[in-house]
């Protein structure tokens, strides 16, 4: 891949004597969905697919961006002196947002750059291509300008950029799991205080398969922010009767005791998902540690049901994929992953059934929805690096 992106950089920007080549992964969340902004636990892992960049510093203030994924857009030019969100700037709002956020945090970027990107994360799939670009940009800035920031701080700056520059009220999970990725491990992260531990994912005789629905969605204009507001309101209502700072602090029993304080049936369902999903995630990691992979799979299935019925973020495409998966032999667990409203599912499938799974689920999806799903047998990889 290094040679491919370098060759393209030379074609677009000319001489490549001072370039650096970098990589940041995508991520998939195995369980713990819509808990990260509710002070709960998540369990994501970095993937071996992700975003590649070739970068060369400039002698001026200009930023010249080119994406091999959006070649029709050509070179998009901006400037360090004018870092603001612009709809017509398209995908470059993600790297620009991180540059803006570094400046906001007191890190001065004193030279422009030519930047070429290529991502092999399917666009709009829910595998966090935007957070991959954000973490990659932060990693590049640290390397080029010698900024004293840890990978964890790069994740937080990426989240700050997404929240305040791109206007998506996302939690910390995506950027954190990409910046802190570790091969063959998932990250058991408590989003309330960012304490985390690595848990080995040793799926003896099984594979992780991600299935892309190919239904495009935009996080910012989806109902993501609406769900977040519903949870915040439910939390405020619960705080009238119990001293908590987040929904993630509640057990199922405490929630059932106090849920009548929430004055709206819809908000009760949203809060219930946040509370129960957090507890499911804690149980799932415990099951994995005890080598109870079947139990882990059942908790994945229950997670999808909750996201479908209580949080209502699945939609016909994701439900079709998951229900088709549940009906296949050799499937240990299947659920939607990511924000929902399109995107993808994550499935754990026994090795000997992988080909049959792809064939049968693909067939059922096309019959029901009318277009193809995409299948990715993925591996768990490390965080960002210079190649």
Report the C-alpha gap between 367 and 361 in whole angstroms.
10
- Residues in contact with 95: Cβ distance below 8 Å, sequence separation at least 6, in sequence order: 63, 65, 115, 133, 134, 137
pLDDT for the residue numbered 211: 95
Is beta strand 344-350 parallel, antiparallel or unpaired with respect to 331-337?
antiparallel
Q: Is the pLDDT of residue 218 over 60?
A: no
Q: Where are the domains of the chain?
A: 2-201, 206-377
pLDDT for the residue numbered 12: 95
Q: Strand, helix or coil at 367?
A: helix
pLDDT for the residue numbered 125: 67
pLDDT for the residue numbered 222: 63
Give exposure, 27-64, as e/b (b: 16+ Cβ within 10 Å).
bbbbbbbbbbbbbbbbbbbbbebbbbbbbbeeeeeebb
Judge contact between 98 and 317, C-beta under 8 A: no
Report the C-alpha gap between 38 and 27 in whole angstroms.
20
Q: Is the pLDDT of residue 333 over 50?
A: yes
Report the C-alpha gap between 358 and 369 in whole angstroms.
16
**Among 333, 343, 381, 249, which Cα is nearest to 30's?**
333
Structurally, what CATH architecture does the domain formed by 2-201 represent?
2-Layer Sandwich (3.30)
pLDDT tens digits, residue range 149-191?
999 999 999 999 999 999 888 889 999 999 999 999 999 999 9
Residues noted as catalytic: 174
Choice between 282 and 221, residue whose per-residue pLDDT is larger:
282
Nearest-5° Cα angle at 45, 44 to 47? 140
In this prediction, residues 102-130 reach a mean pLDDT of 89
pLDDT for the residue numbered 342: 85
pLDDT for the residue numbered 180: 98
Report the C-alpha gap between 348 and 370 in whole angstroms.
25
pLDDT tens digits, residue range 336-365?
998 888 889 999 999 999 999 999 999 999
Report the C-alpha gap between 190 and 43 in whole angstroms.
9
Judge contact between 346 and 337, C-beta under 8 A: yes
Residue 114, H or E segment: strand 113-119
Q: Is the pLDDT of residue 216 over 80?
A: no
**Quick count: other Cβ atoms within 10 Å of Cβ 252?**
13
Nearest-5° Cα angle at 324, 321 to 330? 115
Its pTM stands at: 0.91
Give exposure, 72-90, as e/b (b: 16+ Cβ within 10 Å).
eeeebebebeebeeeeebe
Q: Which CATH superfamily is domain 206-377 in?
A: GHMP kinase, C-terminal domain (3.30.70.890)
E-only strand ranges, 219-356: 331-337, 344-350
pLDDT tens digits, residue range 272-325?
999 999 999 999 999 999 999 999 999 999 999 999 999 999 999 999 999 999
pLDDT for the residue numbered 219: 53
**Among 207, 213, 212, which Cα is nearest to 377's?**
207
pLDDT tens digits, residue range 36-88?
999 999 999 999 999 999 999 999 999 999 999 999 999 999 999 999 999 99
Report the C-alpha gap between 127 and 336 in whole angstroms.
11
pLDDT for the residue numbered 220: 45
Q: How many CA atoms lie within 13 A of 223 on its CB side?
A: 12
pLDDT tens digits, residue range 130-159?
999 999 999 999 999 999 999 999 999 999
pLDDT for the residue numbered 124: 64
The torsion of the CA quartet 81, 84, 90, 96, rounded to 10 degrees, works out to 60
pLDDT grade, residue 123 (50/70/90)?
A: low
């Amino acid at each position: 891949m290094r040679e491919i992106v370098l060759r393209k950089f030379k074609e677009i920007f000319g001489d490549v004597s001072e370039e650096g080549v970098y990589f940041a992964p995508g991520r998939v969340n195995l369980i713990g969905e819509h808990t990260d902004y509710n002070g709960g636990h998540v369990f994501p892992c970095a993937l071996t697919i992700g975003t590649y960049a070739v970068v060369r510093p400039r002698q001026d203030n200009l930023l010249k961006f080119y994406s091999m994924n959006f070649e029709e857009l050509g070179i998009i030019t901006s400037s360090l002196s004018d870092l603001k969100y612009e709809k017509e700037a398209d995908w470059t709002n993600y790297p620009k947002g991180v540059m803006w956020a570094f400046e906001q945090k007191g890190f001065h970027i004193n030279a422009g750059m030519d930047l070429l990107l290529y991502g092999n994360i399917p666009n709009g799939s829910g595998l966090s291509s935007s957070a991959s670009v954000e973490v990659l940009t932060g990693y590049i800035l640290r390397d080029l300008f010698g900024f004293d920031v840890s990978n964890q701080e790069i994740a937080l700056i990426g989240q700050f950029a997404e929240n305040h520059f791109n206007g998506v009220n996302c939690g910390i999970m995506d950027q954190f799991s990409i910046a802190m990725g570790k091969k063959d491990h998932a990250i058991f992260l408590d989003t309330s205080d960012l304490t985390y531990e690595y848990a080995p994912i040793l799926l003896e005789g099984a594979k992780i398969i991600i299935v892309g629905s190919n239904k495009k969605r935009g996080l910012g204009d989806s109902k993501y922010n609406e769900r977040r507001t519903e949870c915040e309101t439910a939390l405020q209502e619960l705080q009238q009767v119990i001293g908590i700072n987040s929904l993630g602090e509640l057990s199922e029993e405490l929630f059932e005791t106090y849920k009548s304080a929430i004055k709206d049936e819809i908000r009760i369902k949203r809060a219930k998902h946040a509370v129960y999903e957090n507890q499911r995630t804690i149980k799932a990691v415990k099951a994995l540690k005890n080598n109870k992979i079947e139990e882990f799979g059942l908790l994945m299935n229950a997670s999808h049901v909750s996201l479908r019925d209580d949080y209502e973020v699945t939609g016909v495409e994701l439900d079709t994929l998951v229900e088709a998966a549940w009906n296949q032999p050799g499937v240990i667990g299947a659920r939607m992953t990511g924000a929902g409203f399109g995107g993808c599912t994550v499935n754990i499938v026994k090795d000997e059934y992988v080909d049959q799974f792809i064939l049968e689920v693909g067939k059922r999806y096309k019959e029901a929805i009318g277009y193809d799903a995409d299948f990715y047998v993925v591996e768990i990889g490390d965080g960002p690096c210079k190649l």
